[in-house]
Amino acid sequence: MDKKKQREERRRQEDIALQRGLLWVAGAIVLEALLVLVNRFYINFYMNEGEIVAALDSVLRFLRLAAPVAAVLALCWTGWQLKQKQKFVLPLILAIALAAVSICAHVAVKFRGPGVSMLFWLVIAWAVLALVYYIYQREFFLAASACGMSVLGLWFARYEAIGRPEAIAVLAAIAVVTAAAFWLKKQDGVLPGQDRFLPANTSYAVLLVTCAASLAAVLAGIVLPGMVANYLIFVMAAWLFALFVYYTVKLM
């Protein structure tokens, strides 16, 4: 009887996780639709649509400044909730969403057509990461986040001087993930409030090596010529695929 209840509880938790993951997918679909509009009326506009282009440019430039500030405030709120050992999911989701909006606005304004084309793939990657977080392994989520961000950082680095500030920002984000991985290892995967984020049998070696490789790849892309970043993108994409295979086999 107890085993039956455990199975039902596990199934219920899996259903809740799937529903939350699908909500992120729905959000990604909305963001993709907005990017389609930006691509049509901001990048590939007609000559008689100047007013629409000017309006979109004003909106994007406003979001480019306001959304990062709001994201930082939401992140501070998240930290406060953690410190108070209270629920922090809502402010964290808000911080992530605002960060996504700020990234999209900045890339669209600065990199124009190539940037918007890259954002279509980036939003899909965000949706996949959300599904990994909710229905796959948390350690894979952290490793895939670091590795995926390295691909993004290398995309910026290939533009050399133009994309160097963004590449450095991505490098800092990977460093944060690396620091979080080290901290979780020290805490045995347990968050404040005794909530377990990573299982006890987590392979921290794979996670930390992936973080280190991601940091090294983006740093090399920043320091070396842009052509090196082009090749490293394929290297890190292959690493990400290898991670997927490794963690899938681990589930079996």
Bridge partner residues of 190 (DSSP): 196
Q: What is the pLDDT of residue 214?
A: 97
Report the residue count for the chain. Answer: 252
pLDDT tens-place string over residues 178-210:
999 999 999 888 877 667 788 888 889 999 999
pTM above 0.85, yes or no: yes
Distance CA 172, CA 219 (A): 10
- Please report the pLDDT score of residue 194 as a whole number: 62
Q: Residue 244 corresponds to which amino acid?
A: F
Chain mean pLDDT for the chain: 90
Q: What does the pLDDT average to over 226-235?
A: 93
> Shortest CA distance to 216 belongs to which of 171, 183, 163?
171
Handedness of CA 182, 183, 188, 190 (dihedral sign): negative
For every residue of 184-230, DSSP letters joined together read HHHTTTEETTTEESS-TT--HHHHHHHHHHHHHHHHHHHHS-HHHHH
Query: Residue 2 has what pLDDT?
Result: 65
- Over residues 112-171, the pLDDT tens digits come to 999 999 999 999 999 999 888 888 888 999 999 999 999 999 999 999 889 999 999 999
User: Alpha-carbon distance 77 to 219, whole Å?
Assistant: 31
Alpha carbon 132 to chain centroid distance?
11
Q: pLDDT category, 17, cuts 50, 70, 90?
A: confident
Report the C-alpha gap between 37 and 44 in whole angstroms. 10
To the nearest whole percent, how much of the chain has pLDDT over 70? 97
Give Cα separations from 49 to 46, 150, 161 (angstroms).
5, 37, 32
Confidence at 251, pLDDT banded by 50, 70, 90:
confident
CB 39 within 8 Å of CB 116: yes
The pLDDT, as a whole number, for residue 20 is 82
